[in-house]
Amino acid sequence: MRASAESSPRAGRILDREALAAYRRRLRPLIEERLAARRGAAPVRREVLVCHGGACISCRAVPVADVLERAIAEAGLAGRVRVVRVGCMGLCDAGPLVLVTPDGVYYPRVTEELAHRIVDEHLEADQVIEEAELSWEGPGGETLRSREVPFFARQLKIALRNCGVIDPGSLEEYVAAEGFAALEKVLFDMTPEQVLDELKRAGLRGRGGAGFPAGLKWQFVRDAAGELKYVVCNADEGDPGAFMDRSILEGDPLSVVEAMTIAGKVIGSSQGYVYVRAEYPLAIERLEAALGAARDAGLLGRDILGSGYDFDLEIRIGAGAFVCGEETALMHSIEGKRGMPRPRPPFPAQKGLWNRPTLLNNVETWANVPPILLRGSAWYAGIGTRRSKGTKVFALAGAVRNTGLVEVPMGISLREVVEELGGGIRSGLPFKAAQSGGPSGGCVPASAADVPVDYESLQELGAIMGSGGLIVMDESTCMVELARFFMDFIVDESCGKCPPCRIGNKVMLNILERITRGEGTEEDLETLERLGEHIKLSSLCGLGQTGPNPVLSTLRHFRQEYEAHVRERRCPAGQCRALLTYTVLEEACNGCDLCAKACPAGAISGEIKHVHLIDQDACIHCGACLNACPSGAIQAQ
């Protein structure tokens, strides 16, 4: 049910309050039908939701949805079953993911062959395909199926409430899911002061990393002098492996449109901008469609809902610089300048975009606003911890069995996220640590896994909440190499404007590279700590100020690994190749000569069908022999 001239009410004209109410009444039968289906009432109308997030599309979700539609039509079920192409469902490593509702049955890794079976067996014969259904082994050895599995059961979705549930291209479905009801309430039933009071009472904090109280930021911009003000959405999201904001824009773009329109009314702005990185083409496409549908329905543009309030949004596409996630660099980029941060104060609330007062939040923060205004601040404030309210979306990645997008209440323990939602460590090795907050975040050791995940607790451990990247590591991870990897990213992405970040982080990287080559000293560890603290205090923007975090947090929690590298010239995890010694296991060597052919240094000798030897003086520790050996005869220690 995509918005069109035929399906959208009064398309191309202003949608007044009465028309919006009539619009909802026409959608009420569908809502009631879904509720009746959940209660077990008959007849049951089914919907087959096919995940069309980026990960699932890359796994052939589009042809799977096409097959489902054709098979449903051929079976004569088109009047009772509908295929809906939805946004990200979260369980990204199980794509393409299909949900048959109201049955509540998930099918992971759906192929075109399985799509035919879903239609023939599940939709026609009412028989769940148990061997193909998403299942989980419970703590008592029992098999948990579909929505019982912890990955879904343990989540509380507020920002992601519509992702994986509605067609992101359908204005009708968004309205049916209480879309624009918060905007209607703000325009006709609330004063700006009441809206600000609700946000403050709710305790919503910015989800972009800093965690600044959202209501207070809105208040600053509203109170700032000047008639021309701007509303900005930060959808740059440059952290490697992070895709929280992208998934919301792909799966529920109208929630961001509605929230920014509300903000414009509250602070006195008529213009907003959504800054999206160019690497998000699907998010841009769906956001553009959402803006067009909202304008056609009179929910964006001039005289919104007949209220006399004008507000419009434009998309600005960034070139992918990590530093443009910093608010002042982002605004420079929107202005057409090079994305580089500037000193603060003045803060954007006083002088932001084109030196005008500017309200800037990230996508996840915006997505929380409509439900807070609809359900009330007390409801939202009742979720989470004393100082960290609500939920947080994490991009769960790394060594866990189940990678993807999760939204959990603030205060949940890291252990619960890893073991229950993540399904535990994939390799079977012990859980070692988790990197929270992206490349400029910090490591939380397994020994602190029971600490609540909130802003304050993570900061005490030397980590940060950040935008929500969460990379889980097992015992095979070298923490020194991990710190070097992230520092390499920070150095590469530095804008170079301030010396502490431009020079200091590069010096730290050089020291880490020496340590992983076995050339480090005890003094290097003291230098890393001293330099890291100096960079944090003196850098111009958040990128430099948080850049040393991976090094400082791993030094704090895993100092013994650093000491093994510099004192014993040994990598305990066996990951730093320069510190490994490669030898041949005589009983396993079949004399195939592949290792000798692969060695770039000519360090391996031996005749065909005879045991080979490695000259340790000539070996350059590249690992080529290990990769080439088909019989596992090469040993690295």
Per-residue confidence at 5, pLDDT binned at 50, 70, 90?
A: very low
CATH 3.10.20.600 positions along the chain are: 391-477
- For the chain, residues classed under CATH 3.30.70.20 are 580-636
pLDDT at 179 over 60: yes
Q: Where in the chain is the domain with CATH 3.40.50.11540?
A: 171-381
pLDDT for the residue numbered 365: 96
> How far apart are the C-alpha atoms of 188 and 184, rounded to whole Å?
6
Range list for CATH 1.20.1440.230 in the chain = 480-567
What local confidence, expressed as pLDDT, does residue 24 receive?
53
Q: Name the percent of the chain in helix, strand, coil, to the closest 5.
A: 45, 15, 40
Q: Which residue has the higher pLDDT, 516 or 319?
A: 516
CATH of segment(s) 171-381: 3.40.50.11540
Task: Calculate mean pLDDT across residues 511-530.
Answer: 94
Distance CA 630, CA 637 (A): 18
What is the predicted pLDDT for the residue at 44?
A: 47
pTM equals 0.87
Q: What is the mean pLDDT of the chain?
A: 88
- Which residue do the tokens 């300048």 mark? 337
E strand residue ranges, 298-389 = 312-318, 358-362
Which amino acid is residue 308, in one-letter code? G
Sign (positive or negative) of CA dihedral 471, 474, 479, 484: negative
What is the per-residue pLDDT across 134-169, written as a single tens digit (0 to 9) for each? 988 777 777 788 878 889 989 999 999 999 999 999
| Overall CATH class of domain 45-143 | alpha beta
The domain 480-567 is placed in CATH, from the list 1.25.40.10, 3.40.50.1820, 1.20.1440.230, 1.20.1600.10, at 1.20.1440.230
Q: What pLDDT score does 2 carry?
A: 33
Beta strand pairing call for 613-614 and 469-474: unpaired
- pLDDT grade, residue 35 (50/70/90)? very low
Residue 230 host element (H or E): strand 230-235
Q: What is the pLDDT of residue 295?
A: 93
Query: Quick one: CATH architecture of 580-636?
Result: 2-Layer Sandwich (3.30)
Distance CA 200, CA 392 (A): 18
pLDDT bracket for residue 574 (50, 70, 90): confident
Six-digit token pair at 352?
């932001």
Is the bond leading into 253 cis (omega within 30 degrees of zero)? no
pLDDT attached to residue 577 = 84
- Give the integer Cα–Cα distance in Å for 38 and 20: 27
Every domain of the chain with CATH number 3.40.30.10 lies at 45-143
* pLDDT higher than 90, residue 70: yes
Cβ(291)–Cβ(313) under 8 Å? yes
Is it true that domain 391-477 has CATH number 3.40.50.1000?
A: no
- What mean pLDDT do residues 241-247 have? 88
